[in-house]
Structure 1
Amino acid sequence: MKTLFAFFCKALDALTGLVAIAAGILLFVPVFSIFYEVVSRGLFNEPTEWATELSTYCVLMAGFLGMGEALARGRHIHVDMVISHLSKRKNLILRLVVSVICLVFTAVFCYTSAEMVYTSYDLDMVAASTLRMPLWIPQLSMPIGIGVLFLQFIRLFGETMQAYHQEVKGGKTV
């Protein structure tokens, strides 16, 4: 079982890394498009109609795609005011409970966002702008990013279960 979990973690690291690279690349697009907009507007008095919209899509997509990497690196927001005062065993139990809640939330979010992407694709929905971006393209970052986040919560749950079992085997008191 441990080797299966180790394989899962290794594969998840690779997947998370690829998705994080995509998020990083997406963050460069706004830099160049806004730079182009400034030069085009300032030097040639020819503003673009697409730069702001494209930048918005890319930043939002990068945010969703980067969530799994943030959790994997321990960079998500967390409040340790309570957990810093708990014993190790109680802290592990709390982490297990929170992991289960997060698993349920991310599973529902992933499913509903995938439905939204499918609906946008099926109905050929496009943005009501001059760019006319097919909406399923930026929306696709939601189920992908939340799906990776879901898998990271599975990992967190598994690692916490292992740590809890080690804590219990050690016979330490609460």
Structure 2
Amino acid sequence: MKSFLAVYRKFLMGLTRVVGIIAGLLLFIPAFSVVYEVIMRGMFNSPTEWVVEISTYCVTIAGFFGMAVTFVAHKHIKVDILLSHLSKRTNEILKVVTSFIGMVFCGIVTVYSIGMVAMTLEHGMIAPTTLRTPLWIPQASLPIGFGLMFLHFIRTFLENLIMLGDPDYDPAAAAGEVAK
């Protein structure tokens, strides 16, 4: 199981890195398009109709794609006022329980968001805007982002479960990751 988990972790970290790069690149589009809008509106009195829509889609997609990147970097908000008063063993058990809950939640959201995207595709729904963007495009970021989170929660759950029985197990070292 540990060797499978090491390969799974390595693959998942690589996939998350790629998705994170895409999320980062998507954030450049609103930055440049807003500058373009300001120039067009201010200097040429010719406002655009697409900047707000494109910017909204890019920021939304980047947000859903960035969830897993933030999770892997341990940068999600965490309140540990209670946890700091519990024993190490209790904290380890809570990590297993919370990773299981996160896995179930992200799995449910992934399944339902896939259904939403499928329905949008089936009905050919488009945005009621000038661009008439097919709505499945921005909506697809939900199952992708939550699906990646689901895969990370599976990884975290299994790693925490192994660490419960083997406190010396280091998942990052097992996957050949360099310590930061």
SS in 1 for 2:166: helix
Partner of 1:62: 62
After superposition, give the CA deviation of every residue in 1:13-70 in whole Å (9 maximum; x if it has no partner). 1111111111111111100111110000000000001101110111010000011111
How many residues in Structure 1 have an aligned counterpart in Structure 2? 168
Partner of 2:33: 33
Calculate the TM-score normalised by the size of structure 2.
0.91
Query: How many angstroms apart in 1 are the aligned matches of 2:73 and 2:130?
Result: 39
Structure 1: which 5+ runs fail to align? 169-174
Letter in 1 for 2:30: P
Partner of 1:109: 109
Superposition RMSD on alpha carbons, in Å? 1.1
Calculate the TM-score normalised by the size of structure 1.
0.94
After superposition, give the CA deviation of every residue in 1:106-151 in whole Å (9 maximum; x if it has no partner). 0010001111111111111000111111000000111001011011
Query: How many angstroms apart in 1 are the aligned matches of 2:67 and 2:33?
Result: 24
**Displacement of 1:102:** 0.8
- Does the CA contact (< 8 Å) of 1:50 and 1:131 recur in 2? yes
Letter in 1 for 2:164: Y
**Displacement of 1:167:** 3.8
Give the share of equivalent positions with the same residue, in percent.
49
Show structure 1 runs of 4+ deviating over 2 A: none
Structure 2: which 5+ runs fail to align? 169-180
- Does the CA contact (< 8 Å) of 1:89 and 1:167 recur in 2? no
Partner of 1:127: 127
Q: Does 1:164 align with 2:164?
A: yes
Q: Does 1:81 align with 2:76?
A: no
